[in-house]
C-alpha cells in the first residue's frame, strides 16, 4: 500500500487508484499503452478517471473498514495525504486533467509478484515538465535520483532514503512507465518492439465486449494464473490448472453498488488450441441451477457445471477431444474401456444418460476428515427412479467383480451405498471427479450425492432434513438473485466457512496471514462467479458482498460435533471425540495412532457408523475420553480425564442428546 501512495506522490498524475490494477488503450495518434505490458501479465485494470474513482472507493464502508487492518495501516494516512495533495495542488492537476492509468500484475519470482504502472500523458510535450520535476527531487525530501540507459531508453531510479526503496521510471513516447521492480520496467521497454498482449486477437476480441460504464475495467489472462496462484497455494490446484488451460481472457467493468456490492460484469473467451469442456458447453446450452435445494449451508464453496442436457454435452465433449487431440482421446477411450470391460457395463447407458442438467462439486465445512473426505459431488438426475435403477445395476456388477462384501446402510430412511471400485468417475469428467475414490452415495430429492466418507453423506442428510440448505438461507437467496438462474458454470464461496478450510489448501505463510486477518476476510462473506454461454463467448459475472463485521453471521452447523471445553483447576480437557475415516463399511473396529506409534483412539463400528465402546488417549498413554456410541450417537455416561488420569468431567447422553445426571 505504501508503494502505491508514493507512486501517486512522485509521478503527480493524481491518477492511479488504489486496489486498481489497470489497463489502457490510448488514442491512435499516440503509442498504445497495452503494447508496453509484458506478456506475463496476470491481470490488467484501467481507469480514465483515477481521481474520481479513488474518491468513490476511499469513501466506501468497505474501504474504510480495510484501513483498520494492519496491512492497510499506512494507507489510512496515505489516503488522507492523497486527498490533501489533490486539493493543495489543484493547479497542477488541472494541467494533467483526466488520465488513463494502467496497472498490471506480474510474477517476477516463483512466489513473488509486483505491479507495473503505466500513465498516458497524451502529449509527449508534458514529459519534459515531469522529467524536470523528477531531476529536481535529487537531494531533496530524502530522495536520490540517478539515470541509466536500457535498450535505447533512459531509466530514472528514484531512491527513497527513508524506506530504502527504489522506484524505477521510464518515459516512452506519450507514456510514463514505473515499478518498484526493475525487471518489470525493463520487460516493458523490451515489449514495445514486439508487443504480445496488445496484438493477441483473443484480447482484441474480448476488449470489444465491454464499455466504459464502470469505475474501471479489468482484464484477466488465464495462461499465467497457475504462476500467480503459486504465491498463495501450497500445491497445484486442479481447478486453477483447468481454468488456465481452457480460458483465454476475461474483460469486465468494475463498479460498486451502494456500500454492499462490488460487481464485475463482462465476457470471457476460451482457448481454442486445447480440447476443453468449455467448447462443448458453448454448443450445449445453459442449464438450470437448482442444487442449492440439497447443498448444506455449511458449504465452504461449490462449483456448479450446468448444461441443457448432460448426455448431449458429454457427446460433444468427446467429439471436441477427438478433433483437437487424438492422443488425449485415445487415453480417455482406454479409461472408458477399462471400466466398462471390468464391470461389464456401459457408462453412457448406465450412468451418463440419467444425468440431468447440473453437476456440483462441494467442499464442506471441516470436520477433521481431511479435505478429500469433506468433498462431495452432487449430480442431478433427469429421472431419479431411473438413476436408482441404474446405480443398483452398477452396484450388482461391482459385487460380482470384487471380493468385498458390500452392505447397504440406512440412515434416517436414506440408504447409503458404497462403490468399492477405483477409477469409475475418471472417464466422465476426468480431473473434476478425481477426488472421488471408492465413494459412498445416497439419493436426496432429485440428486445423487457422492463422497469418500459416510459422515459427509450423513451431514447432507441431516441438513436437508433440518431444512438447513442454501435454498433456505435468506442471504444466499438475495445473493443468488444477482446472477442468472441458468448458466454453464457457477462458483459460490462462503468465506466464513472457507476460512476454516484454507489451512489444507494454502502455504503455511498464507494460512498464518489468513488467521491473523480473519475478520477482514469474513467481512466479505459471499463471493460468486458465473459463466453463461452466448454464441462464441461466455457472459461473465463476478460479485462480492460486503457486510459490517458485526452483521456477518456464521452458517448454521447442524452436523457439527460437541466442542465444549472442560476446565478443572488449571487443567483443560477437550470434550470432543475425534472424527474418523472409515474406508470400508465392513470394518468392525477403527483405531488411530500417534506418530510415535502409541494408540490415539479406538472405536467399535457397525455398517460404517460408530456403535459400541469409544476410547481416546492422551499422547502419554493416559485415557482422555471414555464412552459408548449407539447408532452413531453418544449414549450413556461419558467420562473425561486429564493427562495425569484424573477424572475432570462426566456427562450423560441419550441418543446423542446430553441429559442431566
Q: Round to whole Å and give the CA distance between 294 and 288.
A: 14
Residue 569: per-residue pLDDT: 29
Which residues sit opposite 233 in a β-bridge? 506
Question: For 489-520, what is the HEC assignment?
Answer: EEEEEEHHHHHHHHHHCECHHHHHHHHHCHHH
Quote the pLDDT of residue 104: 94
How far apart are alpha carbons 334 and 40 in whole angstroms?
36
| pLDDT for residue 503 is more than 50 | yes
Of the ranges 126-140, 158-172, 203-217, 485-499, which is most confident? 485-499
Confidence of residue 607 (pLDDT cuts 50, 70, 90): low
CA–CA gap between residue 441 and residue 424 (Å, rounded): 13
Question: Can you tell me the mean pLDDT for 585-602?
Answer: 81
pLDDT band for position 280 (cuts 50, 70, 90): confident
Give the tens place of pLDDT for each residue, 15-63.
333 223 333 333 344 678 999 999 999 999 888 877 677 677 777 888 7
- C-alpha closest to that of 489 among 533, 446, 429, 436: 533
Residue 276 scores a pLDDT above 80: no
- All three cell numbers of 621: 498413554
pLDDT score recorded for residue 133: 65
Mean pLDDT is highest, among 336-340, 540-544, 595-599, for 540-544
pLDDT at residue number 305: 94
User: Tell me: the pLDDT tens digits for 90-139?
Assistant: 554 554 456 678 889 999 888 888 899 998 877 544 555 666 666 666 66
The pLDDT > 70 percentage for the chain reads 78
Q: Which of 209, 219, 243 is nearest to 229 (CA)?
A: 243
Q: What is the mean pLDDT of the chain?
A: 80
Q: Where are the domains of the chain?
A: 2-121+176-229, 275-551, 564-659
3-state secondary structure of 54: helix
Residue 488 has pLDDT above 60, yes or no: yes
DSSP codes of every residue in 119-185: EE-SSTHHHHHHHHHHHHTTTSTTEEEEEEEETTEEEEEEEETTTTEEEEEEEETTEEEEESSHHHH
Contact, 171 vs 31, CB < 8 A? no
CA 504 to chain centre: 13
Rounded to whole angstroms, how far apart are CA atoms 50 and 66?
Answer: 20
Q: Give the Cβ contact number of residue 146 at 10 Å.
A: 11
Average pLDDT over residues 528-538: 94
User: Would you state the cell numbers that stand for residue 95, as one nine-digit string?
Assistant: 494541467
C-beta of residue 440 within 8 angstroms of C-beta of residue 457: yes
pLDDT(195) > 90: yes
What is the average per-residue pLDDT within 362-385?
A: 81
The whole-angstrom separation of Cα 195 and Cα 193 is 6
> For 584-592, which contacts have Cβ atoms below 8 Å and span 24 or more sequence positions?
584/404, 584/418, 584/420, 585/406, 585/407, 585/409, 585/418, 585/454, 586/404, 586/405, 586/407
Query: Quick one: pLDDT at residue 512?
Result: 83
In this prediction, residue 4 carries a pLDDT of 41
Angstrom distances, CA of residue 517 to CA of 66, 235, 318, 496: 10, 22, 45, 12
CA distances from 264 to 21, 101, 206, 397 (A): 14, 19, 15, 49
Angle at 524 between CA 519 and CA 529, to 5 degrees: 145
Phi first, then psi, for residue 161 (nearest 5°) are -65, -30
3-state DSSP call for residue 414? strand
Q: And the C-alpha cell for 149?
A: 540507459
551 vs 202 pLDDT, higher one: 202
For residue 646, pLDDT over 70 is answered with yes
Provide the pLDDT confidence category of residue 80 given band limits of 50, 70 and 90.
very low
Which of 277-281, 291-295, 636-640 is predicted least confidently?
A: 277-281
**Confidence bin at 403 (pLDDT 50/70/90):** low
- Report helix, strand and coil shares of the chain as percent, to nearest 5: 35, 30, 35
What grid cell was written down for 635?
449414549
Amino acid at each position: 500500500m505504501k508503494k502505491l501512495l508514493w507512486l501517486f506522490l512522485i509521478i503527480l498524475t493524481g491518477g492511479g487508484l488504489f486496489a486498481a490494477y489497470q489497463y489502457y488503450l490510448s488514442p491512435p495518434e499516440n503509442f498504445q499503452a497495452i503494447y508496453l505490458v509484458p506478456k506475463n501479465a496476470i491481470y490488467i485494470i484501467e481507469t480514465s478517471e483515477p481521481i474520481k474513482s479513488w474518491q468513490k472507493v476511499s469513501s466506501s464502508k468497505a474501504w474504510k473498514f480495510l484501513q483498520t487492518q494492519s496491512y492497510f495501516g499506512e494507507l489510512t494516512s496515505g489516503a488522507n495525504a492523497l486527498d490533501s495533495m489533490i486539493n493543495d495542488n489543484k493547479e497542477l492537476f488541472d494541467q494533467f486533467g483526466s488520465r488513463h492509468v494502467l496497472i498490471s500484475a506480474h510474477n517476477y519470482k516463483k512466489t513473488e509478484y509486483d505491479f507495473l504502472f503505466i500513465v498516458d500523458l497524451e502529449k509527449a510535450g508534458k514529459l519534459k515538465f515531469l522529467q524536470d520535476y523528477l531531476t529536481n527531487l535529487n537531494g531533496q525530501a530524502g530522495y536520490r535520483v540517478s539515470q541509466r540507459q536500457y535498450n535505447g531508453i533512459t531509466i530514472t531510479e528514484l531512491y527513497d532514503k527513508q524506506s530504502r526503496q527504489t522506484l524505477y521510471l521510464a518515459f516512452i513516447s506519450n507514456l510514463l512507465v514505473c515499478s518498484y521492480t526493475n525487471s518489470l520496467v525493463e520487460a516493458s521497454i523490451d515489449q514495445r518492439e514486439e508487443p504480445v498482449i496488445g496484438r493477441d486477437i483473443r484480447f482484441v476480441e474480448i476488449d470489444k465486449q465491454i464499455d466504459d460504464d464502470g469505475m474501471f475495467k479489468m482484464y484477466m489472462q488465464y495462461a499465467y494464473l497457475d504462476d500467480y496462484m503459486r504465491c498463495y497455494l501450497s500445491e497445484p490446484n486442479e481447478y486453477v490448472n483447468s481454468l488456465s488451460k481452457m480460458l483465454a481472457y476475461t474483460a469486465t467493468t468494475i463498479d460498486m453498488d451502494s456500500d454492499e456490492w462490488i460487481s464485475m460484469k463482462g465476457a470471457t473467451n476460451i482457448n481454442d488450441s486445447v480440447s476443453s469442456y468449455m467448447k462443448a458447453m458453448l454448443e450445449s446450452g445453459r442449464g438450470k441451477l437448482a442444487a442449492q435445494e440439497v447443498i448444506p449451508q455449511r458449504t465452504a464453496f461449490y462449483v456448479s457445471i450446468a448444461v441443457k442436457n448432460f448426455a448431449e454435452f458429454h457427446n460433444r465433449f468427446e467429439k471436441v477431444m477427438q478433433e483437437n487431440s487424438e492422443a488425449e482421446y485415445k487415453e480417455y477411450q482406454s479409461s472408458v474401456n477399462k471400466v466398462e470391460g471390468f464391470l461389464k457395463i456401459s457408462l453412457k447407458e448406465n450412468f451418463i444418460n440419467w444425468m440431468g442438467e447440473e453437476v456440483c462439486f462441494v467442499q464442506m465445512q471441516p470436520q477433521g476428515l481431511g479435505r478429500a473426505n469433506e468433498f462431495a459431488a452432487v449430480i442431478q438426475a433427469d429421472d431419479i427412479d431411473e438413476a436408482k435403477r441404474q446405480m443398483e445395476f452398477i452396484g450388482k456388477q461391482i459385487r460380482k467383480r470384487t471380493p468385498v462384501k458390500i452392505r447397504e446402510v440406512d440412515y434416517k430412511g436414506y440408504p447409503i451405498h458404497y462403490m468399492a471400485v477405483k477409477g469409475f468417475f475418471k472417464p466422465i469428467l476426468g480431473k473434476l471427479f478425481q477426488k472421488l475414490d471408492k465413494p459412498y452415495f445416497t439419493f436426496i430429492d432429485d440428486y445423487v450425492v457422492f463422497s469418500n466418507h459416510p459422515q459427509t453423506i450423513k451431514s447432507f442428510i441431516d441438513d436437508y432434513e433440518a431444512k438447513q440448505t442454501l435454498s433456505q438461507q435468506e442471504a444466499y437467496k438475495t445473493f443468488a438473485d444477482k446472477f442468472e438462474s441458468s448458466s454453464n458454470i457457477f462458483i459460490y464461496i462462503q468465506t466464513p466457512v472457507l476460512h476454516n478450510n484454507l489451512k489444507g489448501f494454502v502455504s503455511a505463510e498464507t494460512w498464518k496471514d489468513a488467521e491473523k486477518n480473519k475478520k477482514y476476510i469474513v467481512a466479505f462473506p459471499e463471493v460468486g462467479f458465473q459463466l453463461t454461454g452466448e454464441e462464441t463467448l461466455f457472459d461473465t459475472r463476478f460479485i462480492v458482498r460486503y457486510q459490517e463485521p458485526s452483521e456477518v453471521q456464521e452458517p448454521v452447523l447442524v452436523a457439527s460435533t460437541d466442542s465444549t471445553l472442560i476446565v478443572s483447576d488449571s487443567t483443560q480437557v477437550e470434550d470432543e471425540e475425534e472424527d474418523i475415516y472409515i474406508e470400508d463399511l465392513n470394518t468392525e473396529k477403527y483405531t488411530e495412532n500417534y506418530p510415535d506409534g502409541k494408540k490415539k483412539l479406538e472405536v467399535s463400528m457397525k455398517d460404517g457408523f460408530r456403535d459400541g465402546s469409544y476410547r481416546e488417549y492422551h499422547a502419554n498413554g493416559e485415557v482422555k475420553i471414555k464412552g459408548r456410541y449407539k447408532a452413531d450417537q453418544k449414549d450413556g455416561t461419558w467420562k473425561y480425564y486429564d493427562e495425569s488420569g484424573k477424572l475432570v468431567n462426566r456427562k450423560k447422553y441419550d441418543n446423542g442428546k446430553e441429559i442431566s445426571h
